[in-house]
């Protein structure tokens, strides 16, 4: 839950949406997870065109929710790297299913149609593989 706002309910969906239910948070997690973007500058270049103030705000919210961490970039005291935590990595299956749903029911680029053609088993295997790699990276950082 963001800051000390009163929860609308005790429903897991509602509580989750209080943290990641805006239109930018999952896109930030997507870019960190799948596209390897890990700096503010990288994230600012996302295809969807996020505003600087919105990105800064969402990074703070995601950090407070312990979905990402902010680390000093090696060789620069003013540049930071953003990394997914265990909680952030656990969002992968959700993002994969949203990608699948979107490629099935929305008009997407031709190269993204392949996701809709993946079987549930293929999606699960892909997601498991990506999560395994990110968990390994997380363990190596610790």
The highest-level CATH class for domain 12-141 is mainly alpha
In this predicted model, which residue has the larger pLDDT, 113 or 34?
A: 34
Q: Are 91 and 67 in contact (CB under 8 A)?
A: yes
Chain mean pLDDT for the chain: 88
In this predicted model, which residue has the larger pLDDT, 1 or 111?
A: 111
Residue 44 tokens read as 């600012």
Residue 35 tokens read as 């596209």
- At residue 114, the pLDDT reads 72
| pLDDT tens profile 12-54 | 999 999 999 999 999 999 999 888 899 999 999 999 999 999 9
Q: Name the residue with tokens 């993946």.
A: 118
- At residue 77, the pLDDT reads 75
- At residue 8, the pLDDT reads 83
Residue 56 tokens read as 């800064």
Whole-angstrom CA distances from 112 to 37, 56, 116, 117 are 19, 29, 8, 10
In this prediction the pTM is: 0.83
Residue 10 tokens read as 């005790």
- At residue 2, the pLDDT reads 44
Q: What is the mean pLDDT of residues 51-64?
A: 98
- At residue 1, the pLDDT reads 44
Q: Which of 54-63, 65-74, 75-84, 119-128 has the highest mean pLDDT?
A: 54-63
pLDDT at 63 over 80: yes
Of 140, 29, 48, 138, whose CA–CA distance to 92 is shortest? Answer: 29
Give Cβ neighbours of residue 18 (< 8 Å, ≥ 6 apart): 1, 2, 5, 7, 8
In this predicted model, which residue has the larger pLDDT, 121 or 77?
A: 121
């Amino acid at each position: 839950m963001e800051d000390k706002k009163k929860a609308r309910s005790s429903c897991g969906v509602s509580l989750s949406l209080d943290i990641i239910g805006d239109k930018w948070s999952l896109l930030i997690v997507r870019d960190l997870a799948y596209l390897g973007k890990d700096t503010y500058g990288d994230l600012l270049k996302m295809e969807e065109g996020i505003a600087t103030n919105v990105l800064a705000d969402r990074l703070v919210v995601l950090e407070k929710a312990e979905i990402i961490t902010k680390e000093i970039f090696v060789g620069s005291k003013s540049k930071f790297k953003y990394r997914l935590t265990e909680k952030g990595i656990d969002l992968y299956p959700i993002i994969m299913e949203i990608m699948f749903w979107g490629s099935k029911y929305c008009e997407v680029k031709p190269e993204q149609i392949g996701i809709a053609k993946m079987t549930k088993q293929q999606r699960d295997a892909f997601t498991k593989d990506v999560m395994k790699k990110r968990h390994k990276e997380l363990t190596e950082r610790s």
